Structures are given as C-alpha cells and as structure tokens.
Amino acid sequence: MNASYELTVDDLVAFNQFHNERSPTIRRQRTKSLVITFVVLLCLPGLILLTTDKPILGMALDIWPLILGPILFVILVSQSFKWGTRKLIKDMVIEGQNSQFYSNCSISFDDTGISESSSSGNTIRNWSAVQRIVVSNDHIFVYTSSLEAFIVPKRAFDTDDRFNAFLQSIVDQTGVTVERA
C-alpha cells in the first residue's frame, strides 16, 4: 500500500507542535518553569506582607497589583504557550537549509517495513521500529523513535475509507494500538 503527497511546512509544524504539547519531558519542564516563576514573582508581595507593621489585609489591599501580577502571568503564559510554540517551530523549520524536509513524498510499505521517498532521499524502517501510531484530525504520525515519525497527511487520500484502510494496514503490520490526538 502507498500514498503520495506534498509534505508542507504546516505538516512539520503540526507534528512538532503535537509532540511538544504531549511530551512528558516538555510538559514537566513547562510546569516547573511556571511554578518557579510564579513563586519568584510572589516573593516581593510576600515579603512586603510579612515585614509590614500594617494589618495584613489592609496591606494586601494596598499592594493588590503585586499579588495579581503573578496570577495573571501564569494564566497568560499558559494560554499563549500553544501560539508561541507554533510560531517558534515554524520559524525554526523555515530557517536555514531545511527545504528538503518539505517536498513531494511517497510512503509505501510491505511485509518487511515502511519506506518514505522524498527529494532528500529514502528512509526505510522495519515494522519492529514502529513505537507509536497517533492519528490527529489531519495526520497520521507513525513514530519510529521518541522524536522521529513518518508524517502522513490525511489529504493524501481521496476518501476517508482509503485513509482508514491505510491506517488499519499499518496497525495490522505492527500490532501497535492507535492513539487519538
């Protein structure tokens, strides 16, 4: 079975964004950064409240912007993370000499493995190399390592039945359970 398609910058961005949003390591790092920043930003109002001679509630009302700042920071950064990540990934993909990664591709497979051909060359993996299969609204990501995947856009298939047949064939070959994004 095979599929031919043009792999675009948006496809590469979609894969990297999906991976960044769901990677346990990246999620831990993002959470840790937010918590540390929140605590550091709360130190100033906390020190003011602990060292004041005024009643704590009265002082808290006086310095409410200093208390509100860290809370707003966490909310705004959490909300803007997805947009910022998408922009950063897109900028990284289009900088330098990366055009060989987004071009016409052909992906095919047989009983031994999966193969992708593009202008930059061929990539061949045995079925045993497939670790995860993730299906999003627009793509199939066939992971062969924690950072590498074959990216197959749904638009490569003229019908949903062909898309589903392609996906099922990969599942049948690998025995890997499909994850829905």
DSSP type of residue 176: P
Q: From 93, 88, 65, 69, select the one nearest 8 (Cα to Cα).
A: 93
User: CB burial class (10 A; 0-12, 13-18, 19+) of residue 36?
Assistant: exposed
Indicate the residue among 41, 66, 94 that finishes a domain: 94
pLDDT of residue 143: 96
Residue that terminates a domain, selected from 94, 129, 149? 94
Task: Give residue 96's region: left, alpha or beta (phi > 0; psi -120 to 50).
Answer: left
Closest CA to 14 of 84, 89, 81: 89
Q: Are 21 and 78 members of one domain?
A: yes
Q: Of 94, 122, 155, at which residue does a domain stop?
A: 94
Q: How many domains does the chain have?
A: 2
Q: Are strands 149-153 and 139-143 parallel, antiparallel or unpaired?
A: antiparallel
Q: Are residues 89 and 142 in the same domain?
A: no
Q: What is the pLDDT of residues 9-22, one digit of tens each?
A: 899 899 988 988 88
Amino acid at 151: I
53/84 same-domain check: yes
Same domain, 90 and 105: no
Question: pLDDT at position 99, please?
Answer: 64
- Do residue 41 and residue 61 come from a single domain? yes
pTM beyond 0.85: no
pLDDT tens-digit readout, 155-170: 999 999 999 999 999 9
Domain around 124 = 2-8+100-180
Q: For the chain, give the mean pLDDT.
A: 91
What is the C-alpha separation between 78 and 71, in angstroms, rounded?
A: 11
Same domain, 87 and 121: no
User: The domain spanning residue 130 has which CATH number?
Assistant: 2.30.29.30
Residues paired with 180 in a beta bridge = 135
To the nearest 10 degrees (0 to 180), the angle between helices 24-51 and 64-94 is 160
CA distance 7 to 80: 27
Interval 22-29 mean pLDDT: 90
Q: 144 and 121: one domain?
A: yes
Q: Both 87 and 161 in a single domain?
A: no
